[in-house]
Amino acid sequence: MSVAGKTVLITGGGSGVGADMAWQFAEASARVIITGRRAEALDRVVSRHRAISPYAADVTDEEAVNALFKAAGPVDIVIANAGMAESAPLVKTSLDDWNRQIAVNLTGVFLTLRAGLAQMKGREWGRLITVASTAGLKGYPYVAAYTAAKHGAVGLIRATAQETARTGVTANALCPGFLDTEMTERSIANISEKTGMSAEEAKARLVENNPQRRLIAPGEVSAAALWLCAPGSESINGQAIAIDGGEI
């Protein structure tokens, strides 16, 4: 496999897509470091594969991110996956709500990619990837802060790609639709609580966004990340790749 022997750092690696990516890259013989704020969640992922190591850190804290990369040593692949989602109409979105989502979904990506790129300077090969969302490519109601942050993450990737274009480093965003993960389960619960819908009805509303009428499996995002690290992907740079069954 093309990632054999390479070091991969994945933020938000304790659950969902991050956990699946960690296992997939480890299975492909990479050395994997996962980070997140919940040590117990990281430990559960680490127990699945001996090639995965944990490091508890908050991606919104500049000093913590710098310490993370120092402890990790030289990394070849950086995946900024940590994220959060909250929903509310724009007029009911408080400044605290806004700042919290921008901090995790955009500032955290900035700090992660900046530190990763600094380590890759002067090297012949590197991959910067962020897990954004279809919300980085279109608008959805009641998630204005999340949508704004994900649009920002896509813009950050496109600008970074221009800076790395003449090096061996590429920068790309993966933009899945609604995923079959814990985050979507929380969104479904939130919709049910606020609207009185059953969980099945709330899930059906989300699934309707996908022309294939299903949630996206985490493994589909992991497969795309592995492809971006494989031979033949050298010209894939500055892209926001929708993984959504044809929604975009």
Domain regions of the chain by residue span: 7-177+217-243, 178-215
Element (H, E) at 214: none
d(CA 11, CA 187): 21
- What are the tokens at 159? 């600008």
d(CA 236, CA 113): 17
Q: Catalytic positions, please?
A: 146
> Cα–Cα distances in Å, from 44 out to 10, 19, 86, 112?
15, 9, 25, 23
- Residue whose token pair is 């950086």: 78
* Residues counted in the chain: 248
- Residue whose token pair is 């109409």: 89
Identity at 90, one-letter amino acid code: L
Burial class (CB in 10 A: 0-12, 13-18, 19+), 243: buried
Per-residue pLDDT 10s for the chain (248 aa) are 589 999 999 999 999 999 999 999 999 999 999 999 999 999 999 999 999 999 999 999 999 999 999 999 999 999 999 999 998 999 999 999 999 999 999 999 999 999 999 999 999 999 999 999 999 999 999 999 999 999 999 999 999 999 999 999 999 999 999 998 888 887 788 777 777 888 888 888 888 889 999 999 999 999 999 999 999 999 999 999 999 999 99
> Which overall architecture, per CATH, does domain 7-177+217-243 show?
3-Layer(aba) Sandwich (3.40)
